[in-house]
Structure formats: C-alpha cells, structure tokens
Amino acid sequence: MEQLEANTADMANAAQAAVHEASGLVVQYSFSVIGAIILLIVGYFIAGVLERWASRGLGRVHGFDETLRRFFSKLVRYIVLIFVVIAVLAQFGVQTASILAALGAAGLAIGLALQGTLQNIAAGIMLLVLRPFRVGEFIDAGGLSGTIEEIGLFATELKTLDGLYVLAPNSQLWSSSVTNYSRNAIRRNDLTIGIGYGDDIELAQKTLAGLVDTDARVLGDPESATFVVELGDSAVSVTARYWTKTADWWQTKLDLTKAAKLAFDKKGISIPYPQSDVHLFQAKAS
C-alpha cells in the first residue's frame, strides 16, 4: 500500500514537472511567435515603404527607364523580405548561417542552370542604363534591323521595314555593334549619279545643285556641295552632298533621285549603262 502511494506521488510529481515545463515552453514560444508575427508585419510594412521610396527616387532621375525603375524597386522589396524571413527563423532558434549557406549554394546552382537567361538580364540592364537605342528608333545590330518596339529585361522587340515582328535576345544586341539611324537630329546623304564622258560635267553639277538648294527639306547648315567623285569605266560619277533632318532623310533621298533623273533627261545629260569596248583583230593567214 505504501509502495502504491509512493508511485502515485512520483507520478503526480512527474506530471506536475511536465506541466510546469510545458507551460514554460508555451510561454517561451508564445513570445517567439508573437515576436515573429510582429517582425513579419513590421518587415512587410518597411519593405513596402522602401519600395515606394526607391521607385520615387529613381523616377526623379532624368531619363531613367521605367522598366529598370520597377525592377530595382521590386528588388529592394524582396531583399528586405528575405532578411525579415531570416530574422523570423532566428526567433525560433534556427541556425541562419546554414540557411544563408544553403541559399548561396542554391543561387549558384540556379545561376549556372540559367546562365543564358541571366546573361540576357544583365545585357538588358546595360541596354536600359546606357541607352544605345530607345523605343521608336531604327537600328541595325547583330544582323537585325528594325524599329524598336519594346526593351525588356530578357529580350527586345523590333518591327522590320516590311512589318515583321522580331524578338531579339538582349545578349545578342549587347555583344554586337549598334548603328542607330534615328539618334542624331540631322543626317547626311550623298546622291551620286553617273553621266557619260561626252556630257557637260559643269551642267550636271549645276543641275544637281539647283535641285538640292531648292528643296525645303535640305538644310543650309551644313552647306550642300557638288563634286566629281569618280571617273569610272563607263561613267563620270557626280555627287551632291547635303544634310536633312533625320525624319526627312529617306523621303528626300527618294524624291531627289527621281527629280535628278527627270532633270538630266530634260537637259540632255545621259546616264549611261555599264559598257565596255571590244577590239577585234583579224588574224593573218598562215
């Protein structure tokens, strides 16, 4: 009987100790849970505030691209949230150093697996920062030519002269030379026409100069000029050099080319076909 009472007392003491320990753990983890919730709420709020600050600050930078502004502001938000999650895990005694090491290893593995994609992202950021071309400009780069429709972080959309849609990886555009036909305000053109060796060179130059000088789209500064550029096999090449606004360049070239042909025909100046002289020799009889 005494043994039973002793066992009962030991069980009661053990139960009381377990309850006491459990209550202590509940209190301890209750504070951890409450602290974690507070950290999440505060961290989420701070991440949103920093995102808006970054967005406004970058928006004040003149010429800063809208895509980059959104990208960097979102990046600030996610970095803050990552640190908040790590701080929450530290509240429960989790070794954050191992988590950071695992995240680093995972990031390295993902980077190696997505090497081409990350290369396009890096190229896209450089294109948006340095701005070798903008939306609406006509370029020639990496064997592609067209008008820029959109510059993204991964690829750039172009529209060719014949209306085709082209999606070019940013790394292809970044790693090649870019010729931007729309960037500068004015552009030069050399209108070269071949005339016959028997035609009046002075008259041809005056005719071209008159056409160029009377066109309202041709700029007075820099001044236009006409000169003989080459003595070819079958023609004398006469050139009219002039400058126009970039937006008028193509149509001016077409109009002046047609006007030069009509004016030369009217004044009797020939535009010869390629020709060659053939000399025949009669062989002596043996």
Q: Read out DSSP for 271-283?
A: -PPP-------PP
Q: Minimal CA–CA distance to 240: which of 195, 184, 286, 174?
A: 195
Cβ atoms within 10 Å of 256's Cβ, excluding its own:
22
Percent helix / strand / coil, the chain, rounded to 5: 55, 20, 25
Could you give the C-alpha distances from 235 to 138, 143, 144, 264, in angstroms and in order?
A: 34, 33, 35, 14
Q: Tell me what pLDDT residue 248 has.
A: 94
Q: Tell me what pLDDT residue 116 has.
A: 62
CA–CA distance, 238 with 194 (Å, rounded to integer): 6
Domains of the chain: 2-113 (1.10.287.1260), 132-180 (2.30.30.60), 186-266 (3.30.70.100)
In this prediction the pTM is 0.61
Q: Read out DSSP for 74-112?
A: HHHHHHHHHHHHHHHHHHTT--HHHHHHHHHHHHHHHHH
Q: What is the mean pLDDT of the chain?
A: 81
Task: Provide the β-strand partners of residue 218.
Answer: 244
CB proximity list for 135: less than 8 A, separation 6 or greater: 148, 149, 150, 151
Label each residue of 15-57 as H, E or C. HHHHHHHHHHHHHHHHHHHHHHHHHHHHHHHHHHHHHHHHHHH
Residue showing tokens 């003989």: 228
CA–CA distance, 205 with 240 (Å, rounded to integer): 8
CA terminus-to-terminus distance, the chain: 154
What would the pLDDT profile of 255-281 be if each residue is shown by its tens digit?
999 999 999 999 999 988 776 667 777
Q: Minimal CA–CA distance to 144: which of 124, 155, 158?
A: 158
What would the pLDDT profile of 195-236 be if each residue is shown by its tens digit?
999 999 999 999 999 999 999 999 999 999 999 999 988 899
The pair phi, psi for residue 160, each rounded to 5°, is -75, 170
- The separation between CA 252 and the C-alpha centre of its own chain, rounded to angstroms, equals 30
CB 198 within 8 A of CB 158: no
Instruction: Please compute, for residue 198, the number of CA atoms within 13 A of its CA located in the half-sphere on the CB side.
Output: 3
Mean pLDDT in order along the chain per 10 residues (286 residues): 56 58 56 72 82 78 68 78 77 65 66 66 84 90 89 88 92 90 94 92 94 93 93 91 95 95 93 76 69
CB proximity list for 84: less than 8 A, separation 6 or greater: 39, 40, 43, 44, 47
Q: Tell me what pLDDT residue 24 has.
A: 56
Instruction: Please compute, for residue 243, the number of CA atoms within 13 A of its CA located in the half-sphere on the CB side.
Output: 10
Strand order in the sheet with 144-151: 165-169, 155-159, 144-151, 138-141, 178-180
CA–CA distance, 283 with 249 (Å, rounded to integer): 57
